[in-house]
């Protein structure tokens, strides 16, 4: 199982969404789809058409920048980050 760390901005939008969720999925996109089944609409907040990650949403798998196709090994740490921007 991978640990998925989610951005805090998502939590007000989905009831009972924790900061960290355990997910078993082969890729980042699959992991997001697993979360979307539990919290419908979550994928739309992270992905746009394509699907592609939204411009200011970044993912890191075990510390390495990834994308939706990046593999998620068992016991990986998958961080989903709302990029720092603005002023």
Partner 1 sequence: MPKTVLLVGTRKGLLLLESDDRREWNLRGPLCESWPIYNAIIDVSGAIYAAAASEWLGSSVWRSGDLGETWTQSSKGLNYEGVHDEGLKLNKISSLASAHGKVFVGAESVGLFESTDDGTTFSLVSTLDGAPGREIWNDHAMQPPGHLGLSAILPFPDSPDHIRVIVQGTSTFDTTDGGKTWEPRNRGLRREWPPPPDEEVGFCVHKLAQSPDPDRWYQQNHVGMWRSDDGGMNWIEISEGLPTEFGFAAAAHPNDRETFYCIPLDPGHGRTMPDGQAAVWRTRDAGSSWQKLTNGLPGRDAYVGVLRDGMVRDEQDDFGLYFGTSTGQIFASLDEGDSWTELADYLPPIQSVRVATLA
Would you say 62 or 82 has its CB closer to partner 1?
A: 82
What is the closest distance, in whole angstroms, from the C-beta atom of residue 12 to partner 1 in the complex? 5
Contacting residues for 48 by C-beta, under 8 A, at least 6 apart: 54
Q: Which range in 8-16, 19-27, 59-67, 69-77 contacts partner 1 by CB under 8 A?
A: 8-16
- Per 3-state DSSP, the chain is made up of helix, strand and coil in percentages (nearest 5) of 25, 30, 45
Would you say 10 or 34 has its CB closer to partner 1?
A: 10
What is the closest distance, in whole angstroms, from the C-beta atom of residue 71 to partner 1 in the complex? 24
**Is there binding between residue 38 and partner 1 (CB under 8 A)?**
no
Helical segments of the chain, H only? 28-38, 42-46
CA distance 38 to 13: 13
What is the closest distance, in whole angstroms, from the C-beta atom of residue 19 to partner 1 in the complex? 16
């Amino acid at each position: 199982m991978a640990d998925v760390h989610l951005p805090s901005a998502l939590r007000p939008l989905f009831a009972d969404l924790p900061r960290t969720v355990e997910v078993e999925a082969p890729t980042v996109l699959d992991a997001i789809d697993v979360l979307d089944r539990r919290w419908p609409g979550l994928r739309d907040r992270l992905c746009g058409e394509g699907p592609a990650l939204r411009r200011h949403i970044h993912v890191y798998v075990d510390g390495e920048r990834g994308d939706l196709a990046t593999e998620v090994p068992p016991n990986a740490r998958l961080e989903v980050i709302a990029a720092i921007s603005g002023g």
